Structure 1
Amino acid sequence: MNLPKAIADLVKAQDNFDSVAYANCFTEDAVVHDEGHSYTGKSEIQQWIEKANEKYNTVMQPIDLEETGAIRILTARVSGTFDGSPAVLRYHVELKDGLIQSLKITG
């Protein structure tokens, strides 16, 4: 599967539990929506993923990538130390200038 660089880098950073590299996949004013919460900007995104990594040890295995207009939807099998692992999640990604502008994670 040929993933856009920012998405491929995001998966790699997640699998390496590298919160700095993960945050660097996003624009300065990017927004992440996950589990009913929003995180804005690289600093908040880095803090969110660092806490999530410590709690859940999540790794991603991309399954499919679709494009719907400006949105790319990555379907991935996600496993870690959370109830229901593994789970299939959908990552709704909007890119801007080669980086992620917005990310919404759904089940």
Structure 2
Amino acid sequence: MNLPKVITDLVNAQNRFDSIAYSNCFSETAVVFDEGKTHKGRSDIQNWIEESNQKYRSVMKPLEYTENGTTSVLSAECSGTFPGSPIILKFHFDIVDDQIQHLKVTE
């Protein structure tokens, strides 16, 4: 599967539980929406993923990727220490200048 470098970097950071590398995939003003909560800015995103990593130990296995301009969707099997694991989630990205501007995670 041919993924943009920033998404490959994001998946690799997630699978290493590296919250700093993960948050560095985002712009300073990026917004993430996950589990009914909004996280704004790289610092907030780093705190969110660090907490999520400690709580769920989730790893991602990319399954499918589609792209339309700056908008793309990655379907990935996510497994970890959460109820219902593994689950397939969709990661909806807006990527500008090789940085994630917006991410929304859905089932």
SS in structure 1 at match of 2:2: coil
The runs of 5 or more residues in structure 2 that have no matched partner are none
Distance in 2 of aligned mates of 1:31 and 1:51: 17
Aligned to 1:64: 64
The alignment of Structure 1 onto Structure 2 pairs a total of residues equal to 107
Which AA in structure 1 matches 2:92?
A: H
Distance in 1 of aligned mates of 2:59 and 2:52: 11
Aligned to 1:35: 35
Aligned to 2:49: 49
Distance in 2 of aligned mates of 1:16 and 1:67: 25
Aligned to 1:22: 22
Distance in 1 of aligned mates of 2:68 and 2:17: 29
1:98 maps to 2:102 = no
Which AA in structure 2 matches 1:72?
A: S
Kindly state the Cα deviation for residue 69 of structure 1 after the two structures are TM-superposed: 3.9
Kindly state the Cα deviation for residue 70 of structure 1 after the two structures are TM-superposed: 2.6
Identity, % of aligned positions: 54
Give per-residue Cα distances to partners, 1:18-57, cap 9 Å, x unaligned.
Answer: 0000000000000000011000110000000000000000
The runs of 5 or more residues in structure 1 that have no matched partner are none
Kindly state the Cα deviation for residue 74 of structure 1 after the two structures are TM-superposed: 0.1
Runs of 4+ in structure 1 deviating by more than 3 angstroms, as ranges, are none
Matches for 1:79-98 after TM superposition, within 5 Å: 79-98=79-98
